[in-house]
Amino acid sequence: MISLEDLRMTVTLARSDSLSAAARALDVSPPALSMRLRKLEALLGLTLANRDARRLSLTADGERFAQQSASLLEQLEALPESFRRRNDQLVGTLRLAAPFGFGRQRVAPLLARFARLHPQLCLHLDLRETPWPDRHDSDAVIHIGNLSDSLWVARPLTSNERWLCASPAYLEQHGMPTSPEQLAGHRCICIRENDEDVTLWHLRNEQRRKTLRIKPALMSNDGSVARRWAEEGLGLVLRSQWDVSKSVTEGRLVRVLADWRFDSAPINLLVPSRTLRSARVQALVSFLEAELKS
């Protein structure tokens, strides 16, 4: 008979790049995990995964079994909540994934307040370079920027303008750009994230739209690093308002082309399908919507 351990193993395999990574997540040895997988495949009469020393990939049958296993586990985990009284505290585990910078600056303080409201909840905050739900063990995921196709439901949390900024020292040395065309003569710092073409900048004002191809002088996959480079006078950076507004207020950065608007990077909360969303996730969605829109 298929066990809960079999379901958890299959879901973990679907979210792992290798057998070793899955074994670490399940706190077992790779040989033991391989044996468990072979036993389950024999029970089902199916090949669930193709694996070698370095890579692991599920077969079509394996993907289907993993999806159904994840659905069953979610329903089982939510079962106790369906019997609780309406005035009971939320219980269980809630896993939220978020990008590093926004997660540290904005999500972590908010999650601390949420924890005080629901002291019986066990909260996990998983900070990742580019969180995405389809390959990670999360109940909800905060995503910044344009959305790719996903089976999850997107709940808009807040708008997020991008500001072009530079340090006073940089502008004193290189001059303040007064038109988009002048950016070609400046050092630009780019942030590589979400598989976007970060060297293509779209901007507009009341009269016209403009698209520029930027040749970056510096590039990083960490937005906080890019901001600090700009503060140190190394170039212009296009960065989310939530990350640079304090630096602008304190004079470490100055907005450039403030009468132009660059493409925004909206902040969304990705959650499972509405029919499977637990009371814990519903409470988190309501809390984050209220806090980030206020």
**With DSSP H G I counted as helix, E B as strand and the rest as coil, what are the percentages for the chain, rounded to 5?**
45, 25, 35
Percentage, residues of the chain above pLDDT 90: 30
- The CA–CA distances, whole Å, from 47 to 15, 68, 251 equal 17, 16, 61
**How many distinct structural domains can be found in the chain?**
3
Q: What is the mean pLDDT of residues 18-27?
A: 80
Question: Is the pLDDT assigned to residue 131 strictly greater than 80?
Answer: no
96 and 214 assigned to the same domain: no
Q: What is the mean pLDDT of residues 62-81?
A: 76
Q: What pLDDT does 54 receive?
A: 66
Q: Are strands 153-158 and 267-271 parallel, antiparallel or unpaired?
A: antiparallel
21 and 74 assigned to the same domain: yes
**Residue that is last in its domain, among 60, 81, 102:** 81
CB 210 within 8 A of CB 204: yes
Determine the 3-state secondary structure of 165 from DSSP. strand
147 and 27 assigned to the same domain: no
Domain extent, residue 35, equals: 4-81
**Residue that is last in its domain, among 29, 50, 81:** 81
| Phi and psi angles of residue 292, each rounded to the nearest 5 degrees, phi first | -85, -20
Q: What pLDDT does 91 receive?
A: 82
Place of tokens 């020292």: 169
- CA-CA-CA-CA dihedral for 75, 77, 83, 87, to nearest 10: -120
pLDDT tens-digit readout, 250-281:
999 999 999 999 888 888 888 876 545 678 88
pLDDT tens-digit readout, 151-176:
677 888 888 889 999 999 999 999 99
Q: What pLDDT does 85 receive?
A: 45
CB 133 within 8 A of CB 150: yes
* Residue 238 burial by Cβ neighbours in a 10 Å radius (0-12, 13-18, 19+): buried
117 and 173 assigned to the same domain: no
275 and 130 assigned to the same domain: yes
**Residue that is last in its domain, among 19, 53, 81:** 81
Of 188, 156, 195, 174, which is closest to residue 262 (Cα–Cα)? Answer: 188
Domain of 102: which CATH number?
3.40.190.10
Domain of 56: which CATH number?
1.10.10.10
Question: Is the pLDDT assigned to residue 186 strictly greater than 90?
Answer: yes
94 and 45 assigned to the same domain: no
Q: What pLDDT does 275 receive?
A: 46
Question: Is the pLDDT assigned to residue 149 strictly greater than 60?
Answer: no
141 and 281 assigned to the same domain: yes
Question: Is the pLDDT assigned to residue 52 strictly greater than 70?
Answer: no
Question: Is the pLDDT assigned to residue 133 strictly greater than 90?
Answer: no
Q: What pLDDT does 12 receive?
A: 82
107 and 155 assigned to the same domain: yes
